Structure 1
Amino acid sequence: MIIEDVLYGSFKVEEVLTGLIRSQEIQRLKGVHMAGPAVLINSAWNETRYEHSIGVMLLIRKLGGTIEEQIAGLLHDVSHTAFSHVVDLALSNKNDDYHEQIKTQLIEQSTIPTILKQYGFDYRQILFDDEQWLLLEQQAPLLCCDRIDYTLREVHRYFSVPIQKIHQFLKSIKIIEDQIVIDSIEWAIWFIDQYQKVVIDFFYDPRNICSYEWMAKIIQLSLENQEITLTDLMMTDSAFLKKLKSSDSVEIIQLLDKMDRPPKCSVCSSEDHYDIQQKKKTRIVDPLVKVADDIVSVSTISPIAQVKLEKILHASHKGIYLKFD
């Protein structure tokens, strides 16, 4: 199979990856949007978990990762539910990791073990401990292929960052002692700026916040009314939405109507009479950089990087307050 990706280019991948990509589990991710229910308010926010999963696999490949780590990268988001992280808000799961909690069970009941066995791979050794894959996952604030891919993909798509600039950044990445290291302070700061666009400017866009608030409430009500089960969340976004629209609940239908015709709102302060308040999981990156013979976090040697990170942390801790006009 030849894989074409807007960020990384064209790659011919092995049969095991082809088999996994064609599986119903990975194909389902074409219908699961990274922006969650926000795509219902702004159709341009249409990046999918499929695109991101392919991207993570290819970035790992580009950086020299093994076929096993590429498999882990491809499947790292396979258990994401309809509308992605909205389930975490609906279930008051502050760790934003519901998809991780159900991952083992989903894989065990899927076609994935059979596909991997066909090519001589043990799914248990590859898929049940992502921490072994140092390119795929790292504890924040370090960089990893997961964070790098969704950041570059979203700033290119939603903030018009030129692909040439992204390619230049990718050339700055070095793998040193199994760590992702940036070869200059300037590129490390550039990535901090891009990450801020995603985790502050995009995640806290009022339309994003409203969509999550309303869809989380819809899911809560639907579960309480026993009109859906948690298993239904393993549908695609469109199939799950269709099921929600068949609800007999007037409140649920009214909330769904808000998605089609969202009321105007504005950002306000916590002292005001606000209608919605959300504080998302705090996310920062502090890239490692190589300076002479040392590898250090950029914030330890750059006051500019330190100030930028402090601003991101402040905005994250503050959250957002919205008032309908």
Structure 2
Amino acid sequence: MIVEDVLYGSYEVEEVLARLILSEEIQRLKDVHMAGPAFLINPTWNETRYEHSIGVMLLIKRFGGTIEEQIAGLLHDVSHTAFSHVIDLVLSNKTDDYHEQIKAQLIEDSAIPALLNQYGFDYRQILFDDEQWGLLEQKAPLLCFDRIDYTLREVYRYFSVPLQEIQYFLNSIKIIKKQIVLESVYWADWFIEQYRKVVIDFFYDPQNSCSYEWMSKAIQLGLANEEIILDDLMMTDSAFLKKLKSTGSTEILQLLGNMDHPPEYRVCSSEDDYDIQQQKKIRFVDPLVRLPDKIVPVSKVSKTAQVKIDKMLNESKKGIFIKFD
């Protein structure tokens, strides 16, 4: 099977990966949007968990990861609910990891274990501990291909970063002792700036924050009124939205209607009489760089990088405050 990606090109993948890609569980991710409900306000924010999952798998393949790690990369987001991280706001889950909490059970209840067993793979060893895979997952602020893919994908699509520039960055990556290391301070600084665009400019875009607020309240109402259940969120975005609208609740329909016709708003400060306040999970990166005699976090050798990191952390801690006019 040939898999094509706008960022990474064409790759032939092994049969087990092809079977997994065609599975119901991975195909569902074609209608689970990375931006959650924000795409209902801005249809151009249409990146999906499917694209991201394919991208992570291909990056792992490109940089020499084992077939097991490619499988883990492809399936790392398989348990994301409809509208992605909106469920974390619904449940006041500040660690943004509800999909991780339900991942093992979803896999156990799926056809994935039997499929992997056909090819001689133990699904428990591969899928239940992503941190064993150094290319797929690393604790912040280190780089991993999960963070790299969604960053590159979103700055390419939403911030018009040239594809050639992205390719130059990818060419600067080296794998040293199972860690992602960049060959120059320049590309480490560059990636910090791209990451900031995603976690500050995009995640805290007022339309993004408003959509999460309205959708989370609609879901909370549906759950409280027993018109929906948590398992319904394992549908696709489209199917779940249809179910939510079918409740007929005036309050739910009004909240969802805000996304079709958003009210006027302005970003304000914590001292103002705000209507929405959101603070998302704190995210930042401090890439490793290779110097002639050592490998160090770029912040140790670049004041520019340290300033960018500090600014990102301060903006993340501040969050966003929105007032409707």
1:80 is aligned to 2:80? yes
Percent of aligned pairs sharing the same letter: 75
- Show the counterpart of 2:12: 12
1:303-322 alignment, distance < 5 Å: 303-322=303-322
Residues 133-171 of structure 1, C-alpha deviations (whole Å, 9 max, x = no match): 000000000000000000000000000000000000000
Corresponding position of 1:53: 53
2:264 & 2:300 partners in 1: Cα distance?
Answer: 42
State the alpha-carbon separation in 2 of the partners of residues 124 and 276 from structure 1: 41
Tell me how far apart the structure 1 counterparts of residues 91 and 59 of structure 2 sit (CA, whole Å).
32
Corresponding position of 1:275: 275
The offset of 1:324, in angstroms, is 0.9
Counterpart position of 1:107: 107
Aligned to 2:163: 163
Corresponding residue number in structure 1 for 2:28: 28
Shift of 1:249: 1.7
Aligned to 2:33, the other structure's residue is in SS state coil
Q: Distance in 1 between matches of 2:92 and 2:137?
A: 24
For residue 81 of structure 2, give the secondary structure of its aligned residue in structure 1: coil
Gaps of 5+ in 1: none
Which residue identity does 2:146 align to in structure 1?
D
Matched, 1:143 2:124: no
| Counterpart check, 1:300 vs 2:300 | yes
Distance in 2 (CA, whole Å) between partners of 1:19 and 1:114 is: 12
For 1:232-264, what per-residue CA distance to the aligned partner results, in whole angstroms no more than 9, with x for missing partners? 000000000000111132111110110110112
Amino acid at match of 1:110: S
Q: Which amino acid aligns with 1:23?
A: S
Secondary structure of 1:174's partner?
strand
Whole-Å separation in 2 of the counterparts to 1:25 and 1:288:
35
Cα displacement string for residues 191-235 of structure 1 (whole angstroms, at most 9, x for unaligned residues): 000000000000000000000000010111100000111100000
Decide which moves more: 257-266 or 85-94.
257-266
What count of residue pairs does the alignment treat as equivalent?
325
CA distance in 1 between partners of 2:33 and 2:248 (Å)? 26
Structure 1 residues 72-105: Cα deviation after superposition (integer angstroms, max 9, x where no partner): 0000000000000000000000000000000000
TM-score, normalising length: structure 2: 0.99
> Could you list the runs of 5+ residues in structure 2 that have no partner in the other structure?
none
2:68 corresponding residue in structure 1 = 68
Q: Which residue of 1 aligns with 2:122?
A: 122
* Bigger mean CA deviation after superposition, 258-267 or 22-31: 258-267
Cα RMSD, aligned residues only: 0.5
Q: Secondary structure at the match of 1:191?
A: helix
Q: CA shift at 1:292, angstroms?
A: 1.0
Cα distance in structure 1, aligned partners of 2:118 and 2:20: 11
* Distance across 1 between alignment mates of 2:243 and 2:278: 27
Taking the aligned partners of 1:254 and 1:19, their CA distance within structure 2 comes to: 42
Secondary structure at the counterpart of residue 139 of structure 1 = coil
Which residue of structure 2 lines up, in the alignment, with residue 211 of structure 1?
211
TM-score by length of 1: 0.99
Provide the C-alpha distance between the structure 2 equivalents of 1:256 and 1:277, rounded to a whole number of angstroms.
Answer: 19
How far apart, in 1, do the equivalents of 2:307 and 2:161 lie? 23
Q: Which residue of 1 aligns with 2:223?
A: 223
Runs of 4+ in 1 over 4 A off after TM superposition: none
The Cα shift of 1:22 comes to 0.4
User: What amino acid maps onto 1:281 in structure 2?
Assistant: K
Q: Counterparts of 2:29 and 2:209 in 1: how far apart (Å)?
A: 22
- Distance in 2 between the 1:84 and 1:240 partners? 12
